[in-house]
Structure 1
Amino acid sequence: MWLLRGLSLLCWGVLGCAGGPQPTGDTETYGVRDGRVWVRGPWEAVQPSRDADDVIDQLCPAIMRLPRAKEEDHGREYCGVIYSLGDGTYYASHPSPLSDTRMGVVSPRKNCYVPRIVEDARGQSIPLGDYHSHPWSPSKMSLEDRFSANQVYSIRLQFDNACLVQKLVPYLNEERPGELYERRGKQWKLIGFIKLEHKATGVITRADD
């Protein structure tokens, strides 16, 4: 799986790069404007909460009800954003399936573009993190998903079609290791670190090493 930061030629995933998205046109909930993907919020399928984890726990089941979200090589990835309006409540944006259509419908290469704009008519959105799905399982966060050059927000969430959820906290501009967590029940389990010298490449050191 790979993604692009905005619409640049930066890869997020294991299978390499291609050009920018080839949109078929804006919809009511996502599109491309000035070379950046936008999504609308909030997404009614996910209930808002003052606990971001409550929002996170709803994402995978909601996404997996969408077309082709679980269909592996025939599947589709979805990308979105968790955000607030500065009032302490967290929301999920609508998901976007915008991707590089040159990958083809049936392919082990899947991608979606991280939204850079969340439109919420109630106020200015404050992004917390991005989320994306994988149409396979098991499927953990790829090496390129962990590259420092490909981080957009404070956290990154990824889940496969069995709803295994992982969270990357890159601490991109801080002199501290990045952290990779896995959701187990209602808790986050620390499973690995990205040492300072490995932030560019995203190499994981297991938490028990």
Structure 2
Amino acid sequence: MLTRRMFVCGTPFILAGCVTQDRPGLMAGDEHDPRHAAIYGAVSGEPFAVPAVDLSRIDPKYYRREVAYLTREPVGTIVVDLAQRFAYLVQEGGRAIRYGVGVGRDEAFNFRGAATIARKAEWPRWVPTPSMIKREPKRYGPYASGMDGGIDNPLGPRALYLYANGQDTYYRLHGTVEPWTIGTMVSSGCVRLINQDIIDLYRRVPVGTRVVVLPAHGDVA
């Protein structure tokens, strides 16, 4: 399968984050909660198939859930913690919606800092960056002219495009055709989410949303 490029930015402002009591409509802390199967089931009403996720291949700690989360960032900010492989959508009252993510396979591939979501796209077209093609010409060269959106597209059903200082960073938050890679360092730099999670995040955030990507200080066991 192809890996994809993209993602986020930020400054190290997170103070703490932990799982506490969940609220209705989000994932519960119990890995056996029956809502998991429903939330990660097949998605209807899409132009292309979004199949149910095989949850047996994903560590339950990366399931979507609401958690206690202290941060200096304002409500509505997305904070990506590269080291822990989580993305947080900051909510009121010291809470956040937490999503498991996959990140760049090497820290050099990951964007770090602050950015803004300047564009959103459903079933986006994917074009590998020149650096990706140069690094792995056999894998990415055939797609130099791009790939239309669809079930085999590495970006999945949704993409959030990150810009900094008015310029495209070429990093995105997006879906994945490899949900079992969530929680790992495997991408070419972009931040990938389970398809059901990127659909959920996409509908919650508008263009103009601030994204902060914290540096990875080491691997997670």
* Same fold flag (TM > 0.5): no
TM-score between the two structures when normalised by the length of structure 2: 0.25
Task: Looking at secondary structure, tell me which structure has more helix per residue.
Answer: 2
